Amino acid sequence: MSFLQFSVSGVILVSTLLGVGGFNGYYSFYIRHCHYTQKNISGVEFIYSAWFNKAEYLQFNTTVGKWVGYTEFGVKNAEEWNKDKGIMAMVKAERDRVCIANAQLHIDAILSKKAEPEVRLTMGKPSTSGHPALLMCSAYNFYPKLIRVTWHRDGQEVKGDVISSEELADGDWYYQTHSHLEFTPKAGEKISCVVEHISLRDPLEITWDPSMPEPERNKIAIGAAALVLGLIVTAAGFIYYKTKSRGRILVPSG
């Protein structure tokens, strides 16, 4: 499926249930599909499918231009409906009524939406004696799918030693992607991850700070969190003490 291809499905459900509780009944449904691209709305393809108990038995496709049956019952209906000018005119009119009339509305409602990526730069593997380091640049929760993640070293784009994943669908319209850079650290160099996406006015650049190893940054972050927590507990204890003191009644001793 190309990036601009768009599909709309309309579902009509009709069920006939026979037997106690409907467990021994029959289930039939009909699906209407619209396939088109943002640049060619007029070239929309309309597909009408009829299903019975999880099996498709009949289909009309505007590209094919006729009904096609997939079972004995479907073939029988296809032969009859292809001869019926009223049915043929009706199903062809559905293409304009269902697909073309709503195509631009769907494009404006979905394809125009944008979500900025959340970018994180982390050390996957620190450099050791004789072994290179590994940085990982991750982009999360962005839409639409198309995104570009590159590595820059002292202002120059890095072409080699880069491994990137495809855009991975999260199942909720958002995507994520990950890029890894293997490198040997050099004093004074600048390494950054640059992310380009349609939701961003300018490319987003995040620079790696090699002056402090990641474990040390983690220690500082944990220490700061512990300090804040300690201050909160101390303040809460002081407030509790003062509150109790105000409610205490002093009785003179004999």
pLDDT band at 98; cut points 50, 70, 90: confident
Q: What is the CATH number of domain 118-214?
A: 2.60.40.10
Residue 20's pLDDT is 44
Domain boundaries defined on the chain: 5-111, 118-214
Per residue in 21-43, pLDDT (tens digit) is 445 677 888 888 888 876 677 77
Residue 243's pLDDT is 58
pLDDT band at 159; cut points 50, 70, 90: confident
Q: Which two tokens stand for residue 145?
A: 């799918």
Residue 37's pLDDT is 74
Residue 230's pLDDT is 58
Asked whether the predicted pLDDT for residue 249 surpasses 50, the reply is: no
Asked whether the predicted pLDDT for residue 225 surpasses 60, the reply is: no
pLDDT band at 2; cut points 50, 70, 90: very low
Residue 219's pLDDT is 42
Closest CA to 51 of 34, 35, 73, 82: 73
Asked whether the predicted pLDDT for residue 111 surpasses 90, the reply is: no
Please state the rounded mean pLDDT for residues 114-140.
85
Please state the rounded mean pLDDT for residues 136-140.
95
Residue 226's pLDDT is 47
pLDDT band at 199; cut points 50, 70, 90: very high
The pTM of this model reads 0.48
Which residue bears the tokens 């509150």? 243
pLDDT band at 167; cut points 50, 70, 90: very high
Residue 189's pLDDT is 85
Cα–Cα distances (Å) from 152 to 161, 192, 198, in that order, read 12, 5, 20
Give dist(CA 219, CA 96) in Å, integer.
63
Give dist(CA 144, CA 215) in Å, integer.
35
For the chain, give the number of residues. Answer: 254
Residue 80's pLDDT is 95
Please state the rounded mean pLDDT for residues 143-150.
93
Domain 5-111: give its CATH architecture: Roll (3.10)
Residue 247's pLDDT is 52
Q: Do domains 5-111 and 118-214 have the same CATH topology?
A: no
Asked whether the predicted pLDDT for residue 74 surpasses 60, the reply is: yes
Please state the rounded mean pLDDT for residues 88-106.
87
| CB-based contact 59:47 (threshold 8 Å) | yes
Which range has the worst mean pLDDT, 85-99, 133-147, 159-173, 207-221? Answer: 207-221
pLDDT band at 229; cut points 50, 70, 90: low
| CB-based contact 50:67 (threshold 8 Å) | no
